[in-house]
């Protein structure tokens, strides 16, 4: 995109989409305690939006449109902005306004996506010109899921979340259900009951043909995979199993995304209406995205 003639002072309505993990296998643990995983991450159209307003006084501030309360310094958006300044020596500031839609503690990557959108947007607002790989490196220090959102495409993900291979996924609708309760991600990963030795697979093993770029076959994927975090998460948060059973009662096969507690199920084309939800649950019918809406904002 051509730079504007006059300095841009704010960028508004920047999207931060959520993700679903179509499966999540834990294949090992690194010496630093982080887990090696294999997963397919898929972008969906349930999204937060972010406004970035230039502050020339060098301050970073953040507001949530829902609460309008000042948030703590360890907020992931502020940390992303700070990490970007440290990496580049930039002395400009920003006011970050977050319009939160994605449920927290859902395993949908909401916080990581917000951080990624802040990195992408501030890279532009502050005229830093960092390429994708550099933004992803900064993002990884903020959270294992951040590089995926910087990457911009649905991906086969390995390592601790930083090794990304773009994959084509069939467009699909999903129902996503989030109970009011959740379980702590570090607690799930730290559980002695967690299965950490799932055999490593190759991406080609799931693809519709031998071409690595081929479209993954969703039904085949579900039949041969699982979320290794789910049994431990269900033990800590019984609502997760209730969500799975609620979906099952409507003929849908549910699976947890990430470390939960949201659960999702692919929808058959003919599916029209969901049963009434128990008190306190939220549910939404989402569609997969082919790419992050801001992917063209970064080079590389």
Contact region for ligand C5P (CB under 6 A) — 7-15, 115-123, 143-151, 226-234?
Answer: 143-151
Nearby residues of 189 by Cβ (< 8 Å), 6 or more positions away? 35, 229, 259
Query: What is the nearest approach in angstroms of ligand C5P to the Cβ of residue 172?
Result: 25
What is the spatial distance between Cα 158 and Cα 148, in angstroms, rounded to a whole number?
A: 11
What is the spatial distance between Cα 21 and Cα 225, in angstroms, rounded to a whole number?
A: 11
Contact region for ligand C5P (CB under 6 A) — 34-42, 85-93, 220-228, 284-292?
Answer: 34-42
**Nearest to ligand C5P of 37, 130 (CB atom):** 37
CA 75 from chain centre, in angstroms, equals: 16
In angstroms, the first-to-last Cα distance of the chain is: 14
Q: Which residue of 34, 222, 281, 297 would you call a contact of ligand C5P, by CB under 6 A?
A: 34
What is the spatial distance between Cα 281 and Cα 57, in angstroms, rounded to a whole number?
A: 42
x-or-dash pattern for ligand C5P, window 170-199, by CB under 6 A? ---------------xx--x----------
187 is catalytic: no
Structure tokens at 62: 């953040």
Q: Which residue of 19, 25, 35, 97 would you call a contact of ligand C5P, by CB under 6 A?
A: 35
19 is catalytic: yes
Contact region for ligand C5P (CB under 6 A) — 29-37, 43-51, 53-61, 270-278?
Answer: 29-37
| DSSP labels, 85-113 | HHHHT---EEEEEEE--SPTTSSS-HHHH
Query: What is the nearest approach in angstroms of ligand C5P to the Cβ of residue 98?
Result: 18
Is the distance from CB of 85 to CB of 121 less than 8 angstroms? Answer: no
Binding-site ranges for ligand C5P (CB under 6 A): 34-35, 37, 143-145, 160-161, 185-186, 189
């Amino acid at each position: 995109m051509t730079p504007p003639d006059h300095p841009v002072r704010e960028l508004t309505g920047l999207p931060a989409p959520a993700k679903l993990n179509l499966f999540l296998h834990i294949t090992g643990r690194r010496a630093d305690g982080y887990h090696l995983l294999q997963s397919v991450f898929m972008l969906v159209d349930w999204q937060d939006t972010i406004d970035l307003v230039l502050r020339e006084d060098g301050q970073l501030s953040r507001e949530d449109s829902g609460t309008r309360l000042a948030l703590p310094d360890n907020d992931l958006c502020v940390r992303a902005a700070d990490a970007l300044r440290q990496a580049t020596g930039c002395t400009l500031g920003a006011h970050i306004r977050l319009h939160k839609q994605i449920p927290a503690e859902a395993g949908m990557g909401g916080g990581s996506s917000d951080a990624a959108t802040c990195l992408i947007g501030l890279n532009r607002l502050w005229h830093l010109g960092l390429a994708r790989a550099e933004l992803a490196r900064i993002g990884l220090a903020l959270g294992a899921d951040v590089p995926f959102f910087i990457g911009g495409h649905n991906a086969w993900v390995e390592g601790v979340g930083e090794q990304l291979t773009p994959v084509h996924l069939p467009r699909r609708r999903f129902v996503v259900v989030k109970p009011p309760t959740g379980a702590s991600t570090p607690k799930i990963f730290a559980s002695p009951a967690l299965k950490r030795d799932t055999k490593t697979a190759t991406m080609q093993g799931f693809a519709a043909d031998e071409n690595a770029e081929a479209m993954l076959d969703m039904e085949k994927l579900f039949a041969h995979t699982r979320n290794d975090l789910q049994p431990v998460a269900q033990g800590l948060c019984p609502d997760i199993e209730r969500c799975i059973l609620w979906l099952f009662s409507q003929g849908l096969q549910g699976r947890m995304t990430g470390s939960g507690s949201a659960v999702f199920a692919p929808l058959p084309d003919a599916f029209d209406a969901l049963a009434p939800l128990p008190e306190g649950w939220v549910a939404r019918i989402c569609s997969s995205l082919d790419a992050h809406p801001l992917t063209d904002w970064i080079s590389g």
